[in-house]
Amino acid sequence: MNKAKIGILGAGTMGSGIAQVAAQAGHRVVLVDLNEVALETAKNSFQTIFSRMVEKGRMTNQQLIETSNRISYASNFEAFSNCGIVIEAIVESIAIKHSVFSELEAVVSEECVLASNTSSLSIASIGSVLKHSKRVIGIHFFNPAPLMPLVEIIPSVQTSQETLNFSKALIDSWGKITVLTKDTPGFIVNRVARPFYGEALRIYEEGIADFATIDWAMTSIGGFKMGPFTLMDYIGNDINYAVTESVFTSFYYDPRFKPSFTQKRHTEAGFFGRKSGRGYYDYTEGVVLPNAIEDPVLGKQIFDRIITMLINEAFDALFLNVATKEDIDLAMTKGVNYPKGLLLWADEIGLDVVLTKLESLFSEYGEDRYRPNPLLKKMVKEKLSLF
């Protein structure tokens, strides 16, 4: 495994980030992109990043040369012919991934693992076009890959135990924290995190509070590093909305994942967030960001509602065996920097308190969105705790 040559398809931010991680872990890496300009950009970016690391004393000049030399660049799939694993990090389109994986299988060896960095698409579907689908697996890094510690490992129903063992051991050897998740929409993080955005948008749409006040409640009272609207502006509303819509569709239109018209309209208007200069907030130079209404009673009401919905979603993932309770909490703290694991947080708040809040919301709105999870109800009834 330590000698495996790593193939990365896609020289964008994510692909080049994964290539950097693999090269720094001592692997020979081939970075492939059909766009020569993207390859050149990635190459220049590596030199800048490694030079900064030398300046900060995190890398020697000799290590800079050796790491740079381990990365080669190509604009054709044939360059993957002697790789032990190829990780695809391209556009989130199942049709394009089907085409690409078919092409990859034609050039790699039968033993080569084919992995996708998809954040929400079905690994089973991606593997369905392969003659040897047992070699396909999901390996989902978080952006930026060199800095974010979490990687979701997603075996499909076709994935062999050998493929899973190899992939997990490989990513563990790169110093990453891996969690094992079932091949369901959004995996752990993008599934469980939906209410952080969705319920915040709902609170805004109901006129309970504005963007700044909701963000203040979640950072000051909840201890989150960023509020939902600041975070959506950071991620990009176009990306966040696309994931929301994808998860909603994939879950057969379950109301829990229903997208918001507010986010849709911001996306349609081109208000993508920081990258476009305008999102929920205006980032134009000289514009003063709005002040929050720092009312502790209102803030607690907002925090309680969002955290309750997040906990219910974490319970649903546990109830349906998407992942273990340890991996669900690890994924949320290491993948999206939550101040605590949601299931541990639920124990601290009190499962009965969480259930009462959910039942109150369900009674008030009469929407399936607020239905309490059966496992939560069972545990409260039997006076059990998770940890």
Reference 138, options 157, 155, 121; nearest CA is 155
Catalytic residue among 120, 122, 140, 312: 140
Please state, in angstroms and rounded to a whole number, the distance separating the CA atoms of residues 328 and 337. 13
Q: What is the largest CA-CA distance in the chain?
A: 65
CB proximity list for 10: less than 8 A, separation 6 or greater: 32, 33, 88, 89, 90
- Whether 2 sits among the annotated catalytic residues: the reply is no
Catalytic residue among 190, 237, 246, 312: 190
CB proximity list for 56: less than 8 A, separation 6 or greater: none
Reference 118, options 247, 211, 210, 218; nearest CA is 247
Reference 133, options 101, 96, 109, 165; nearest CA is 101
- Whether 119 sits among the annotated catalytic residues: the reply is yes
- Whether 152 sits among the annotated catalytic residues: the reply is yes
Catalytic residue among 16, 119, 122, 167: 119
- At 171, phi and psi to the nearest 5? -70, -35
Catalytic residue among 88, 152, 199, 313: 152
CB 45 within 8 A of CB 16: yes
Active site members: 119, 140, 152, 190
